[in-house]
Chain A
Amino acid sequence: MAGYILKNSIRMFLLIIAVSIAAFLLMTYSPIDPLQTNVGQTALGIMSQEQIEKLETYWGSTLPPLTRYIQWAKDFFSGDMGISLLYRQPVSDIISQRLSNSIWILSAAWILSGVFGIILGMLAGIKEGTLLDHIIKSTAILFSSTPIFWFALLMLMLFSVWLKWFPIGLSVPIGVTAENVTITDRIYHGILPSFVLSIAAMPNIILHTREKMITVLESDYVLFAKAMGKSNQQIFIQHGMRNVLLPAITLQCASISEIFGGSILAEQVFSYPGLGQMAVTAGLGGDMPLLMAIVVITACFVCAGNLLADVLHHIIDPRMRFGKGNKI
C-alpha cells in the first residue's frame, strides 16, 4: 500500500512539473506584454529608457525563459513562492487569503453536487423509464450542456437583481470592517456561487450514477437476489447501494478538477475574491509568480483527489484489496 502511494505520488509530482512547464510556456509566449498592460502605453511613452529597462527587469522579460523557469522552480520547491508583481506582496500570503475564501464555496459545491448527484442518479436508475427518470435525466443533460458562466449570470439576474434575495457579488458586505464581518455574512455571500458550482458539477455525477444503477439492477446477482425472494428494498440496500457507491466515490474524487475549473468562471461572474478570480487577474496582468503558484497548487489538489480516489477504491473494493497474493 505504502509503495503504491509512493509510486503514484512520484508520478503525480512529475505531472505537476509538466503542468508548471506548460503554464510557464503559455505565459511566456502569450501576447500580453506585462509592461503595456500594467504600466500603460501613455506612461511608457513619457518614461526614460533607463526607467523602462528597470521595469523590464522587474517584470522579468530580459532574461531568457529557461533561466527564468529554473530560477522560479528552484525557489518554488524550496518553499519560496516569490513576490506577486501586481500586488507586491508575497504570493503565499495572497494565495492563503484567497484560498481561505474559495475553499468554503468549493467544498460546499463539492459536497452538495456529490450528495445530490448520487441520490438523484440512484433514484433515476431505480425508476428507469418512468416520468421521474425522464425528468431527472433530461434536466441533467440540459445542465451538462449549459455553459457555467451563462448559468451564473442567469442566477445573478434572477436572485440578486430581480428577487434581491442574494448579494450581487463579493464575499463580504460592502462598508463593513473586517472585524465586523460575521460568519452569516460569509455564508450569505457564498450561497449563490456554491449553488452554481454544484449545479455545474452535478449532471455528470447524476448521469454516471444512473447508468451504473441500471447496470447493477440488470446484473445477474440482482436476478439471483430476486430469486431468493428478497424485496426491492432489500436488494437496494444489500446490493444496489454498495455496488453503485464504489464507482461514485471515484467519480466524486475526480470531480475536484471540474469544481476548480468551474470556479474560475463562477468567481469571475460573482466578483468573488477567490482563487479562481485571482487566476484570471494574474493571467491577464502577466503576473508570472502568482499564476504559476495558483496553477501548481490547483494541480496539487486535483492530483490529491485522484490519489485519494485510487486509495479509497483499493480499501473498499475487495477485488482490489491489498494483501497476500493480491499485490499490484
Chain B
Amino acid sequence: MILDMKQITISVNNTILVEDFFLQIASGELVALVGASGSGKSILAHSIMGIAPKNVVCQGEIRYQGEPLTKEKKRDVLGKEIVLVPQNISYLDPLMKVGRQVAKGKKDKISMEKVTKLFQKYNMHSSVMQRYPHMLSGGMARRVFIASALMEQPRLVIADEPTPGLHKEMAQMVVSHFREMAQMGAGVLMITHDLELAMDCADKIIVLYGGKIMEQTNAKSFQSENTLYHPYTKALWKAMPQNGFHTTSVTHPSKTGCPFLKGCTKSKKECMKNIIPYFQKENSIIRCIDAGGKEICF
C-alpha cells in the first residue's frame, strides 16, 4: 500500500472541515476523490503533503509505504516521491521561466536535458521552456505540471483538479497521462469535481460531501444506479445528463449528523446522530445506516 490514511480529521480554528476520512492507494491504482467545491478536497491534498496553512490541524494516521509520514519523512520525499500536480497557471511563479521552474530552480545541464526530454514527450517545443507562465495556454500549463511531476520517479501523485477549463479531448489526454503514471507503478490520487471524468479513468471513486466520505466504490459501480448504495451518490448519478438530469433541491450539507440529511427522502432520527458508522457491502464502503451490509471501523 503506497498511501494508507485512517481516521483523518482536519480542522481550522476548531471548525471541522474533514471528518473521519480514510484512503488507501495501492501501487498502480488511480483513485478519484469526487466532491463539490467546499467539500474539503484540496485541504486534504495539502494536508497529506503538509503544505496546508499553519492554522490547519490534521489529526489521524497517515502511512506512506508502510511507514508513518512524519515531518522528517515528508522533507525527504516531497517533490521526489510524492508530487503535486496543481490546478492552474497561478501555481507557477510569474517571474521565472517555465523550464527552470520544472527543473526546480536548477540550471545544471543534466536537469535541463531532462526537462527538454520531458517537454518533448508531452508535445511541447523546447522553446516553451524559455517562456514565462503568462505565455502558456491552459492545456500547455497542465502538461508543464505533468512534466514537472515526472522530473523524478514519483511513487504518489496527487493531482488537484487537473482538468477544469480544458475541452473534453484535452482533459482526457491529461487524465491518460495520470493513467500512464499509475502503470509505471505510482499511486495516483486525482481530486476532481468531474464525476464523468472520474468514471472514465479511475479504479476507485470516493465521494466526499460536507467533509465526510459518503461512499467509496469501484468506478464500475457508477454504470448503474443499483450498484450505488448511498442516497447522495444515487442523487449524483441521477443528476448526470445521460441519467435524466434529476436534481435535488438541497445545496448546503447539514452540519450535524449525515450531511445529506436534508436532501434524503429516507432520513430518520438516527441520521441526526453525529457519528454515523461505515458499512461494507460488496466492494463498496458506505456511510449510511440504511445501506445494509456489515458495519466496519478503521
Contacts and interface: CB of A to CB of B under 8 A. Distances in A.
Interface of A: 218-221, 223-230, 234, 238-239, 242-243, 246, 317-319
A230 B93 contact: no
Given A228-B78, A228-B79, A228-B104, 20 more contacts: A219-B90, A221-B90, A221-B92, A223-B51, A224-B86, A224-B92, A226-B78, A227-B51, A227-B84, A228-B148, A229-B79, A229-B80, A230-B79, A230-B104, A230-B105, A238-B105, A317-B95, A318-B94, A318-B132, A319-B94
Given A227-B78, A227-B79, A220 B94 contact: no
B41 to A, nearest CB: 15
For chain A, what secondary structure do more than half of its interface residues adopt (helix, strand, loop), or is it mixed? Answer: helix
Nearest to A240: B93
A318 B90 contact: no
A120 B90 CA distance: 27
Given A223-B51, A227-B79, A230-B104, A238 B91 contact: no
A201 B51 CA distance: 37
Which of A223, A226, A229, A239 neighbours the largest number of chain B CB atoms within 10 Å of its CB? A229
A228 B91 CA distance: 11
Interface residues of B, number: 25
Contacts of A319: 94, 132, 134
29 contacts: A220-B91, A221-B91, A221-B92, A223-B51, A224-B84, A224-B92, A225-B93, A227-B49, A227-B79, A227-B86, A228-B83, A228-B84, A228-B148, A229-B78, A229-B79, A229-B80, A230-B104, A234-B105, A238-B93, A239-B93, A239-B96, A242-B93, A242-B95, A243-B93, A318-B94, A318-B95, A318-B132, A318-B134, A319-B132
Nearest to A129: B54
A227 B95 CA distance: 19
Given A229-B75, A234-B105, A318-B134, A224 B91 contact: yes
Q: Chain B binding site: helix, strand, loop or mixed by DSSP?
A: loop
Contacts of A318: 94-95, 132, 134
A221 B79 contact: no
Contacts of B234: none
Interface string B131-164: 0101000000000000010000000000000000
A253 B253 CA distance: 52
B46 interface: yes
Please indicate which of the listed interface residues A228, A242, A318 has the most CB atoms of chain B within 10 Å of its own CB: A228
Contacts of B80: 229
A238 B105 CA distance: 7
B105 A243 contact: no
A31 to B, nearest CB: 54
Given A229-B80, A318-B132, A220 B86 contact: yes
Contacts of A224: 84, 86, 91-92
Contacts of B51: 223, 226-227
Contacts of A238: 93, 96, 105
Nearest to B105: A238
A223 B96 contact: no
Q: Max chain A CB contacts within 10 Å: which of B53, B75, B94?
A: B94
Contacts of B86: 220, 223-224, 227
Nearest to B158: A227
B91 A243 contact: no
Given A228-B104, A238-B96, A318-B132, A223 B75 contact: no
Contacts of B93: 221, 225, 238-239, 242-243
Contacts of A220: 86, 88, 90-91
A80 B113 CA distance: 64
A178 B51 CA distance: 65
Contacts of B104: 228, 230
A242 B100 CA distance: 14
